[in-house]
Structure 1
Amino acid sequence: MALDKKTIRLLILEDSQNEAERLVSLFRNAGTATRVHRLTSSDDLAEALQQSWDLLISAPSSENLDPAEAVAAIRRQAKDIPVIQLVAGNDSDAITDAMSLGAQDALPQGEDERLIMVANRELANLEERRARRAAEVALREAEKRCQLLLDSSVDAIAYVHDGMHIYANRTYLELFGYEDVEELEGMPMIDLIASCDQVNFKDFLKTYQSLEGSAELVCGGVRADGSDFRARIHFSPAAYDGEPCIQVVIRTESDNAELEEKLREISSQDLVTGLYNRNRFLELLDSAVERAVNAGQLATLAYIRVDRFASLQAELGLADADLLLADLSELLRQHFPADTPLARFGDDVFAALQQGVAPGVAEETLAALLKKVEGHLFEIDGRTVQTTLTIGVAGLDEKTAQAREVVDRAHRCADELTEGNALKRYNPADELAAAANRGSVVAMVRQALENNSFRLLFQPIISLRGDTHEHYEVLLRLLNPQGEEVPPTDFINAAKEAGLAAKIDRWVLLNSIKLLAEHRAKGHSTRLFLHLSSASLQDPSLLPWLSVALKAARLPSDSLVIQLAEPDAIAYLKQAKALAQGLAELRCKMAISQFGCALNPFNTLRHLPVAFVKVDGSFTQDLGRAENQEALKTMLASLHAQAILTIVPFVESASVLATLWQAGVNYIQGHYLQGPSQSMDYDFASDSE
């Protein structure tokens, strides 16, 4: 595992110069530059601690400086230097003692690969702590600046929580005629509102609590001396001293609101076209993204580029090219509804935000725009000019993370249209396909979920005791864009890291249920064993969903066996217990796979009423040795004593069958019998004869 490329400042407490150099070479071989100082005494340490260091690695002991003294000195000076203590041999007491004294970790001397991994972890943690401290300082500074701005603002600003004032600036106090903020603290804001407007104000506040974003109200204000004035009150969500509240900004109607509005309008306009400029449009796009995420309000962005504009500009000259853009902007205004935000987004690019309109619907309007511009004759300074547009289209929905993402998508679509006078809509599948072709396993998984292109395989689980049921384990496979199988561990691990494991489980369950219903309709008495990931194990909505899926397919619940891996069952035992109870109510059975590798595997079974246990594959390896046979027999006897049916996987040859029969195994599974297949076609009858 390679360390980060930045230079690491390393302290080493090691009497042997050669050993210290060996440790340094480990870091350099791991691909990182190091600046190193070897400690030789307590005075040397005191001097070194005047500087900044990233890591201390200490030998088990030193004649020059006791490692415990070095750790104590670092703690005494409150230095954030992680310490890794090496110990002689794998002495657990020495490891515990070192960590008790303040070392971040301790490990046996000579375990070089592990040392690099531990150092990598501690350096990453150090960077996180430093970044957090820097962020906390920046936050405090920002809060101070905000407070100064609030205190000195010419706007009347207050913060209100549950209708009560918790802060008001000097301008707010002067507006209402109060001397001190303490006079307002704890006072309901409604006391400052004219009595004729109080009902409206109450209703507005009630409605505002359920809204997202900013809102404005015009009503009468009452000063401390009883005089009143008309006020425009702007409300927006905020936080004060870490508590959520409402920021209130009040402007009186005597303020030059009209001039302010005019200035705001001018600052948001493009001078050539009169449309919004890029900055103002991005603000509107940000608000649309927020509405899409929080309220599910769809919108569509059109990135509209003028074809071959550089050539037109060279032909017409700058001034006449600007006239063409102005005429085009007027045509856009006429084409779109009056409330559609339009902008000049770049030199030769316009943008339109169609709010409440899905991309599929917007496409019709934009296709009509293409035809309109293509057929339009622009009169520029006595000359006739024709042009066309290229349009990239991207939608905003609840999955949209940020405005820049939408712009990038629409921009890419426009760039892909090399001929001009054309339109392309962003399709997430195209992006996934491109990423999948580049070898991204996560992209392949997402694509398989969207395109329903995972492959299900079925491997028979065969009874050694005459059970008439047909049992199959369901296995999932993923093909890359070249048609080759991705190793299951690779894509399953990638899916877990990307948070897609639960979605995959649902896909497998749903498609297995459909196939099983079709198979059982042909007269087969078939059960399927289906894996469940730790993500689904923690999902409380799984059981109700599974119940509905089984009823819809008209399948008996006992035709499914839900299988958990032993490590997941142990890590999430409480959730596994709840799942087992829910499955029992549904009359589904539960199985544990990879059984027998925990320190006390039978402890798990005390909490989970499982019907089947599949022992770990390691137990079937080297069954020719008597001690391995005995270990398997002992485990199986304990399981059978609890009336649990046992499955032994990875049966790869006939030689182990007699041993497994004598051991009392209920079911076997493996390539010797039949490997995974795309169909449930194993002849179980031949085994029962």
Structure 2
Amino acid sequence: MAIEKKTIRLLILEDSQNEAERLVSLFRNAGQATRVHRLTGIDDLNEALQHSWDLLICAPSSEALDPTEAIAAIRRQAKDIPAIQLLANNDSDDITAALSLGAQDALPQGEDERLVLVAKRELANLEERRGRRASEVALREAEKRCQLLLESSVDAITYVHDGMHIYANRAYLELFAYEDADELEGMPMIDLIGASDQASFKDFLKNYQGHDGHAELQCNGVKANGHSFAAQMSFSPATYDGEPCTQVVIRAHSGNAELEEKLREISSQDLVTGLFNRNHFLGLMDAAAERAVNAGQPATLAYIRADHYASLLAEVGLAGIDILLTDLANLLRSHFPGEAQLARFGDDVFTVLLPGLSPEDCREQLGSLLKKVESNLFDVNGRTVQSTLSIGVAGLNEKTAKAQEVVNRAHRCADELSEGNGLKLFDPADELAAAANRGSIVAMIQQALENNSFHLMFQPIISLRGDNFEHYEALLRLHNPQGEEITPLELFTAAKGAGLAEKIDRWVILNSIKLLADHRSKGHETRLFVHLSSASLQDQTLLPWLSVALKAARLPSDSLVFQFSEPDAIAYLKQAKAITQGLNELHCKTALTQFGCALNPFNTLKHLHLDFIKIDSSFSQDLGNPENQEALKTLLTSLHSQAKLTIVPFVESASVLATLWQAGVNYIQGYYLQGPSQSMDYDFASGED
């Protein structure tokens, strides 16, 4: 139940240190990293407000600072910090009063699950507001840049609403021989159209009103001095000052259509090779990406680099290299079919866009190109020159978000051919590896799932009362590309955020079953505790899948103990109830971890079929304190009266063993006994002596 992927910065107005820590534990038990500051007065609040915070939680009352004063101070300083007011009761008048004073929500103190849900909502709203403000700033900057581009454009551009000019750039004014934009403001555009074309222009505008895309019209324009000229008008939907309108771009015809076509052709060409230039090719890539996403039309990009370009340049000179590149371009033209689009993308780079083909479809054709170039003898000013190519290949498909990403992938593939004269097709696993190397935990998880590269560790759970079974807990571990272990908190927080927790659970279950079946085949009576995330609690396909997996492994069902946490059980109590019933029908054992932190933990037990209860680690801390000992004994007595087998984890020293024995604990676990190990090798017999 992760609230946010990032660390939340939390202000708490609460006089009781213990209650403040309990509130913080709600978030931390949900797997959320939390940075907290407890307010001690108005001066402390003013100092804290010099920094950035995400949420304020106020107790019903505080001697240090009145909650209404705290909320008012935040509003005075115009800080966007959502406030949640806790109340001593559920009185609707108190709730209304808190909301009217500026709290985002008010709820009775102690409704922990509701508090976390409200906090999740307010944090999400805060992120939306921050994102909107950033977008508004970006929009204003974009509008400024667009205005500058409009003013400096050589094309005549106007914006028209209901047939009337609302904006015209300098080029438009010059084209129609007007001195000032004020002269055009409010003037119907039809007044600038020749009389013979006005009827057709009206008809065009009527039909265009419902047109969502680009349209063109040829007609005669009339200048302010009465002179007319042939104009090509391009219409497209736009907005100006937030209002919908139509953008019209006008180009005056020179009268020589052949010359204009030639000029357009030259503007898209590389002058040396006659192929498309880089800018035009990027436009072709954008169009291909749009077709791939919207129409399901795949395409392939080949990024072709001439090997050893610097050496060739030194050998034949600038004039010679142009001849070589031209010959290479001609060879490419003859090699690829007519629908292929070729460009000179850089000094030593050609690109080819092959529509309708996947990268694998192009492998043979590109492979034959490598051989053709390698065997070709180029003639450069009477000298024989040989060259080879490095070709990187990437595809455009329905998942292509940006054409530039495809170019980058093909570029990287070509770069990886350090020996040259080679061909490399983009593999998504390479991109995943690159993201993992950059520190993306989600990418590391995806890699581990694909490559089966997680590690399972096993920590013994030792009986204090004599038990024929050997018990271990299966613990998942993941190392980053540098060999360092990812902390479990980072691992599972990232997995929840990316929606991968369920897949991880199934990996752990499947591999635990295999390892346990092998271990039991050697004569061990072993049970394995396996953790289920909140995602698995909600997965209705888990039980049927598990039944098949257990039968396939021929493993006794009661040799597996499936455990989940108390916070998850409370959040998904209905699902937890169903899954414990289902596991019981499969004869699997069940356990609840982190038990005892809820306000009424035993209420949860009424709904769940559980065999083991693992006490929260906070109960085993500072057991030298008689008050803490008594709290643990009271909890254990209640559990044992319900015939629950109890486990105390995080046993770190010998000094607590006598206390735990006297308290009647059934099982203990911790580094004092043995830390997680790569194998199930603990000597349980020695522990009984």
Normalising by the smaller structure, the TM-score range is 0.5 to 0.7
Q: Distance in 2 between matches of 1:675 and 1:491?
A: 19
| Pair 477,85 (structure 1): closer, same or farther in 2 beyond 3 Å | closer
Residue 328 of structure 2 is aligned to residue 328 of structure 1: yes
Aligned partners of 1:295 and 1:461: how far apart in 2? 57
Alpha-carbon contact 1:502-1:535 (below 8 Å) kept? yes
Q: How does 1:577-656 map to 2 (within 5 A)?
A: 577-656=577-656
**Paired AA for residue 371 in structure 1:** K
Q: State the one-letter code of the partner of 2:631.
A: A
Q: In the alignment, is the contact (CA less than 8 A) between 1:639 and 1:646 conserved in 2?
A: yes
* 1:645/1:666 contact within 8 Å kept: yes
Greater Cα shift, 626-635 or 534-543: 534-543
Deviation, structure 1 residue 382: 5.6
Question: 2:501 matched to 1:501?
Answer: yes
- Secondary structure in structure 2 of the residue aligned to 1:607: coil
Could you tell me whether the CA contact under 8 Å between 1:85 and 1:98 is conserved in 2? Answer: no
Cα deviation digits, residues 279-336 of structure 1 (max 9, x gap): 4544554465567668987754321112344665676676664453343233223334
Q: Could you tell me which amino acid in structure 1 is paired with residue 386 of structure 2? A: Q
User: What displacement does 1:376 show?
Assistant: 0.9
**Residue segments in structure 1 that go unaligned for 5+ positions in a row:** 5-18, 33-58, 107-119, 154-169, 190-213, 215-256
Bigger relative contact order (CA 8 A; separation at least 6): 2
**Counterpart secondary structure, 2:676:** coil
User: CA separation of 1:365/1:510 partners in 2, compared to 1, >3 Å: closer, same or farther?
Assistant: farther
Give the letter aligned to residue 671 of structure 1.
Y
Does structure 2 retain, via aligned residues, the 8 Å contact 1:71–1:102?
A: no
Give the Cα separation in 1 of the matches to 2:163 and 2:312.
51
**SS of structure 1 residue aligned to 2:682:** coil
* 1:642-679 superposed Cα distances (whole Å, 9 cap, x missing partner): 33332222234455445434434333223343332211
User: Deviations along 1:420-477, whole A, 9 cap, x unmatched?
Assistant: 4344444555555566556555554444444433221112223344443332110122
State the alpha-carbon separation in 2 of the partners of residues 290 and 573 from structure 1: 45
The aligned residue for residue 492 of structure 2 is 492
CA contact (8 A) 1:82 1:104 kept: no
d(CA) in 1 for partners of 2:163, 2:264: 22
How many residue pairs match? The answer is 544
Q: Give the distance between the partners of 1:67 and 1:621, measured in 2 at CA.
A: 35
Instruction: Report deviation, 1:598.
Output: 1.4
| Partner residue, 2:555 | 555
Q: Deviations over 1:218-253 (max 9, x none)?
A: xxxxxxxxxxxxxxxxxxxxxxxxxxxxxxxxxxxx
Instruction: Quote the residue 2:530 is aligned against.
Output: 530
Q: CA deviation at 1:586?
A: 4.2
Q: Could you tell me which residue of structure 1 aligns to residue 133 of structure 2?
A: 130
**In 2 relative to 1, CA 130–522 (structure 1 residues): closer, same or farther, beyond 3 Å?**
same
Amino acid at match of 2:559: S
Q: CA deviation digits over 1:546-570, x for unaligned, max 9? A: 4443344343443322211212222
Shift of 1:617: 1.6
Counterparts of 1:243-282 in structure 2, within 5 Å, are: 270=270, 272-273=272-273, 275-282=275-282
CA distance in structure 2 between the partners assigned to 1:2 and 1:557 by the alignment: 40
Deviation sequence 1:576-598 (CA, Å, 0-9, x none) = 34443444454433321111111
Equivalent residue for 1:513?
A: 513
Q: 1:455 to 1:654 in 2, by over 3 A?
A: same
Name the residue aligned to 1:569. Answer: 569
1:379 to partner: Cα distance: 3.8
CA apart distance, 1:523: 3.9
Q: Using the alignment, how far apart are the partners of 2:542 and 2:399 within structure 1? A: 22
The answer to whether the 8 Å contact 1:83/1:105 transfers is: no
- Secondary structure (helix, strand or coil) at the match of 2:302 reads strand
Q: How does 1:75-474 map to 2 (within 5 A)?
A: 82=80, 100-102=100-102, 127-131=130-134, 270=270, 272-273=272-273, 275-286=275-286, 289=289, 300-309=300-309, 312=312, 321-354=321-354, 359=359, 362-379=362-379, 384-396=384-396, 400-418=400-418, 420-427=420-427, 441-474=441-474
Whole-Å separation in 2 of the counterparts to 1:566 and 1:297? 50
Offset at residue 541 of structure 1 (A): 4.6
CA offset at residue 607 of structure 1?
Answer: 3.0
Deviation at 1:356, TM superposition (A): 6.2
User: Residue type of the partner of 1:303?
Assistant: Y
* 2: CA distance, partners of 1:667 / 1:603: 23
Q: Distance in 1 between the 2:450 and 2:373 partners?
A: 37
Q: Give percent identity, aligned residues only.
A: 65
Give the distance between the partners of 2:610 and 2:84, measured in 1 at CA.
45
CA distance in 2, matches of 1:359, 1:371: 18
Partners of 2:477 and 2:74 lie apart in 1 by 52
| Aligned-residue offset at 1:3 | 13
Letter in 2 for 1:344: R
- Going from structure 1 to structure 2, the CA distance change for 1:299 and 1:101 (only over 3 Å counts) comes to same
- 2:237: which partner in 1? none
The answer as to whether partners of 2:72 and 2:101 remain within 8 angstroms in 1 is no
Structure 1: distance between partners of 2:523 and 2:290: 54
- The change in CA–CA distance for 1:149 and 1:306 in structure 2 (over 3 A counts) is farther
Superimposed CA distance per residue, residues 339-390 of structure 1 (whole angstroms, 9 cap, x where no aligned partner): 4443332343112345565556645543432232122123456654432222
Partners of 2:45 and 2:70 within 8 A in 1: no
Q: Which amino acid aligns with 1:342?
A: L
Return the alpha-carbon distance in structure 2 between the equivalents of residues 620 and 524 of structure 1.
30
Counterpart amino acid of 2:511? N
Q: Cα offset for 1:639?
A: 2.4
Distance 1:619 1:262 in 2: 83
Q: Partners of 2:545 and 2:141 in 1: how far apart?
A: 46
CA contact (8 A) 1:2 1:31 kept: no
Inter-CA distance 685–101: structure 2 relative to 1 (3 Å threshold) = same
What's the secondary structure of 1:479's corresponding residue? coil
The question of whether the paired residues in 2 share the 8 Å contact of 1:623 and 1:629 is answered with yes
SS of structure 1 residue aligned to 2:394: strand
2:667 partner letter: Y
2: CA distance, partners of 1:671 / 1:70: 48
The structural deviation recorded for 1:615 is 0.8
Equivalent position SS for 2:643: coil
Report if the CA contact (8 A) 1:60-1:86 is conserved: no
For 1:181 and 1:582, the matched residues in 2 are separated by: 66
1:311 to 1:629, Cα distance in 2 relative to 1, 3 A: closer
Counterpart Cα distance in 2 of 1:86 and 1:601: 24
Residues of 2 paired with 1:581 and 1:85: CA distance? 40
- Considering only aligned residues, what root-mean-square deviation do their CA atoms show, in Å? 5.7
For 2:113, the equivalent position in structure 1 comes to none
* Match in the other structure for 2:171: none
In structure 1, how many angstroms separate the alpha carbons of the residues matched to 2:525 and 2:8? 56
Q: In structure 2, what is the equivalent of residue 235 of structure 1?
A: none
TM-score normalised by length of structure 2: 0.62
Secondary structure of 2:478's aligned partner: strand
The residue matched to 1:679 in structure 2 has which SS? coil
C-alpha change, 1:506 and 1:288, in structure 2 (3 Å) is farther
Deviation string, structure 1 residues 59-82 (Cα, Å, up to 9, x no partner): 969xxxx9999999x8xxxx9764
* 1:379-427 Cα distance to aligned partner (Å, 9 max, x none): 4566544322222233456665422222112223333445543444445
| Stretch moving more, 264-273 or 594-603 | 264-273
